[in-house]
Amino acid sequence: MSQLRQWLNPRTTAAKMAVVFCIVSVVHYAAFAWTKDVLPLVADRVTHEFTLWMLVTYTVLFHKDPLSFIFGVLILVSIGGALERHWGAKRLWLFGFGITIAAGIVTVGLSLVFPLIGMLPYVGANAIVSSMWVAYGLLMGRGQTNFWGLPVTGNTLALIGAAFVLLSGLLGSWLAVIPELVGLGLTFVHVRLGFPQDALQRFGSWRLQRDLNKRSSHLRVISGDQRNTPRDSDKYLH
């Protein structure tokens, strides 16, 4: 398999995800009159009219902008594919949709405090794209990777991804990039804590360690030259 084909493998789950996002987004914008009240996330409608499905449907929509489509697909296929090799397909799904649905829930929560957020329609595929980008960079850490040919460290790549979102907020409107910003925050937390199963496993391990420490608190370490002195009891010896 050539290097390019390995990097842009169309058989990965990430590539399938990109195709689904493209199809649904194109259908959405082609039939905008019918779908505008159904698919994008409008926080006010979620809280007042209980349109809970929007928290999921908004995740598959790109912004109405050709560049957003093209770069979204490229990043999903390339970086999503790399993450898939690292995590596996199931975890990639859980990460992409989990982060974006959680970002949608936080956006709905924020709309209760800032009513203006409640009126805006949000699309979330770009939040998945930026989250994957930053997650990949953070996972690479100080390791070398490349940003369209330029050799950069993973952390720098993550910084570039975050800068894109911040720049969109700065040049456009902060309100328009709320899910992306929340997604970035959640991605950072996720990379630090891992998947919920891992975090639970670590918690279990910590509890076990604590129990073992408690059980051994009455024991004391005896150095070699103090063994079997006349003061020692031999009642536990068998």
Contacts with other proteins by CB under 8 A lie at: 48-53, 56, 90
Cβ closest to other proteins, residue 104 vs residue 137? 104
Residue 199 Cβ, how far from other proteins at the closest point, in Å?
21
Helix (H, G, I), strand (E, B) or coil at 195: coil
Residue 90 Cβ, how far from other proteins at the closest point, in Å?
8
Residue 192 Cβ, how far from other proteins at the closest point, in Å?
27
Residue 98 Cβ, how far from other proteins at the closest point, in Å?
13
Contact 112, 184 (CB under 8 A): no
Cβ closest to other proteins, residue 53 vs residue 203? 53
Cβ closest to other proteins, residue 90 vs residue 207? 90
User: Euclidean distance between the first and final Cα of the chain, in Å?
Assistant: 65
Give the side-chain half-sphere CA count within 13 A for 82.
20
Cβ closest to other proteins, residue 101 vs residue 123? 101
Residue 158 Cβ, how far from other proteins at the closest point, in Å?
30
Residue 53 Cβ, how far from other proteins at the closest point, in Å?
4
Q: What is the DSSP string of 102-146?
A: HHHHHHHHHHHHSHHHHHSEE--HHHHHHHHHHHHHHHHTTSEEE
b/e sequence 153-167, b meaning 16+ C-beta within 10 Å: ebebbbeebbebbbe
Cβ closest to other proteins, residue 27 vs residue 56? 56
Cβ closest to other proteins, residue 35 vs residue 51? 51
Who's near 98: CB < 8 A, 6+ residues apart?
A: none
Contact 8, 84 (CB under 8 A): no
